[in-house]
Structure 1
């Protein structure tokens, strides 16, 4: 039962990351919610970097879904554990950019914590 719940949560994380990436690719001003202050979404060079980030988000989400469908519960746990580094890095980036601590901790660090819990549940299942 725990592995089923953790697998569904991993799938939701994967789908969510794909949707976030697609939204940022489609509407770069959505990047303002990331937490970096004074995000210059009208600057063509910065928009290019946002597109790079968006495509990497989409690819990361697809990777999670591929492992969910074709891999084992244990492998999905390891992938989720490795992927949890991404929101930890995002939190550090927001904090180093003097962004809102609420976003760094409430969005990025909380996402990392959820992913770590999912990882543990998948690895012990």
Structure 2
């Protein structure tokens, strides 16, 4: 179980780092793919806010890597459970904005469930 948790954690960290970098390098495309209905056209202010989100995503991915390399599996698992709130919050934001239900549940909700399952693998498999 621990190995599965670590593999999933690594994949999640890589995905979060990719998404964070995308909000820096292609903010309009990243914003459109997020799923919020009625997103404004790119502007200096919006691009700045999207860079803030990208920075936080990159830091979140690095936190996962830090815990994978230096922390016990249980701590990584607990972190993942807490981090799942980000994905579920994103899902709620997309739904609240009138965005795509399929995207809200299919991307953000499913991501949250995978993160919960990853945390459970690490916690249940920890000595």
8 Å contact from structure 1 (residues 15, 65) kept in 2: no
Q: Which secondary structure does the structure 2 equivalent of 1:84 belong to?
A: helix
Q: TM-score, normalised by structure 1?
A: 0.96
Measure how far apart 1:41 and its partner are.
Answer: 4.2
Measure how far apart 1:47 and its partner are.
Answer: 1.1
For structure 2, list consecutive stretches of 5 or more residues without a partner in the other structure: none
Q: CA RMSD in A?
A: 0.9
Aligned to 1:15: 14
Aligned to 2:92: 92
For structure 1, list consecutive stretches of 5 or more residues without a partner in the other structure: none
Q: TM-score, normalised by structure 2?
A: 0.94
Measure how far apart 1:28 and its partner are.
Answer: 0.5
8 Å contact from structure 1 (residues 81, 116) kept in 2: yes
Specify whether residues 106 and 83 from structure 1 end up closer, same or farther in structure 2 by C-alpha distance, changes over 3 A only.
same
Separation in 1, partners of 2:124, 2:4: 13
- Alignment length (residue pairs): 124
Separation in 1, partners of 2:70, 2:53: 26
Aligned to 2:52: 52
